[in-house]
A = this chain, B = another copy of it.
Amino acid sequence: MKISTKGRYALRVMVDLGLHNTGDWIRLKDIATRQNISEKYLEAIVKTLVTNSLLEGKRGKNGGYRLLRKPAEYTVWDIISVTETGELAPVACLEEGAETCPMRNECPTISMWQDFGNVEREYFSKITIQDLLDKAAGKAAANPKADPAETALYISQLSACL
C-alpha cells in the first residue's frame, strides 16, 4: 500500500523540470543537487521517463532533459504508472502477464480489487503536474520570505519532500 521511492522521485523530477521549464536543457546533475537525490540513482528513473515519452534528453555538452508537453498535460498517473515497478495492480492475479486464476469466474473479490485499481487510476489522473506547481506557488506565497533571492531558492527546492 506504499508508493515506491522511484515513483516519488520521478514526480520530483517532473515538478523540478516544471519549475525550470524555460525550454533550455536541464542537467540531471542540477536536478539531483536541488532535490538532494543521488544522481546515479536518478539516471535509471529518468531513463524510464524518457523511454515512455514523458520527457526528452539531449546528450553532450549543454545537454540535459526537458519536458515534452506542458505541465498541465501530465497527470500524476502518467508518471507513477510507468515508474511503479512492481506493476500497479493491487493483487498479483490482476497483473498484466499473470496466468489466469482457475477460479477467476467464481472469485468473490476480484471485482473489488479491479474496482479499487480503477479508483486509484481515476484519482491520480485528475491531478496534473501543473496542479502541483500551483500548489507549490500558492504555499510559497503564503509563506513569504524576506529576501527575494531566498524566495527563488526556496521555490526551486520546493519539491524536496515529495
Q: A residues touching B (Cβ–Cβ < 8 Å)? A: 1-4, 8, 11, 15, 76, 84, 86, 88-93, 101-113, 115-116, 119-120, 123-124, 127, 132-133, 135-136, 139-140, 143, 154, 158-162
Pick the residue among B103, B119, B120, B158 that contacts A106 (CB under 8 A): B158
Describe A's contact surface by its main secondary structure. Answer: helix
Instruction: Determine the distance from Cα of A34 to Cα of B109 in the docked complex, in whole angstroms.
Output: 17
Pick the residue among B107, B120, B162 that contacts A107 (CB under 8 A): B162
Pick the residue among B76, B89, B108, B123 that contacts A135 (CB under 8 A): B108
Give the chain B neighbours of A135 by CB distance below 8 A.
Answer: 108-109, 111
Instruction: Determine the distance from Cα of A103 to Cα of B39 in the docked complex, in whole angstroms.
Output: 22
Q: A2 and B119 in contact (CB under 8 A), knowing A106-B143, A110-B161? A: no
B108 lies within 8 A of A158 (CB): yes
Give the chain B neighbours of A139 by CB distance below 8 A.
Answer: 105-108
A143 lies within 8 A of B105 (CB): yes
Give the chain B neighbours of A124 by CB distance below 8 A.
Answer: 116
